[in-house]
Amino acid sequence: MKLLIINGPNLNMLGIREPGIYGTEGYETLCRMVLDHAAARGVEAELYQSNHEGDLVDRIQAAYGNTDGIVINPGAYTHTSVALLDAVKAVGIPTVEVHISDVSAREAFRQVSYIRAACAATISGHGLRGYLEAMDLLIGDRA
């Protein structure tokens, strides 16, 4: 089984950006956690991060036919991007949306998620652990 873990804009700044909201662990720590978890579960995982909407669309499209599940934290594009929603719908790969913070308890503009309509589940507010929970959901779906 192959999982793709996608992070959108500013998630490369984890550990630096608003640590009171996103924590003090950096993106490298997240990558290590995801890869360790994949190894423990006996699945393959690849991580991708970009600050650019079109690059994220390209990466989702490139997953077509070779990836069994996607975990995606689209960052701010969650609240703006129909293109990412359409990309996930286009490839038809089971996808789980993750947010490190509890977006439901934040600003009004964060209450809309376009991508949610294409996702099997949303995990929000569980910190970096949310990515591992999302992986488990996809692995469980498959088992």
Indicate which residue of 22, 48, 77, 131 is catalytic.
Answer: 22
Q: Which residues pair with 6 in a beta bridge?
A: 48, 72
Site map 63..102 versus ligand DQA, x via CB under 6 A? ----------x-xx-x--------------------xxx-
Tokens of 106: 């934040």
Assess 14 for contact with ligand DQA (CB under 6 A): no
Indicate which residue of 48, 77, 99, 114 is catalytic.
Answer: 99
Per-residue 3-state assignment (H helix, E strand, C coil) for 48-75: EECCCHHHHHHHHHHCCCCCCEEEEECH
Is 52 among the residues known to form the active site? no
Sequence-ordered alpha helix ranges (H) in 4-128: 19-22, 27-41, 53-62, 82-91
Distances (CA, A) of 99 to 9, 59, 90, 138: 13, 19, 22, 16
Minimal distance, residue 103 CB to ligand DQA, in Å = 5
Which of 10, 51, 80, 122 is the binder for ligand DQA (CB under 6 A)?
A: 10
Which of 41, 89, 110, 126 is the binder for ligand DQA (CB under 6 A)?
A: 110
Three-class SS of residue 121? Answer: strand
Kindly list the residues in this chain that would bind ligand DQA in the complex (CB under 6 A). Answer: 10, 73, 75-76, 78, 99-101, 103, 110
Active site residues: 22, 99
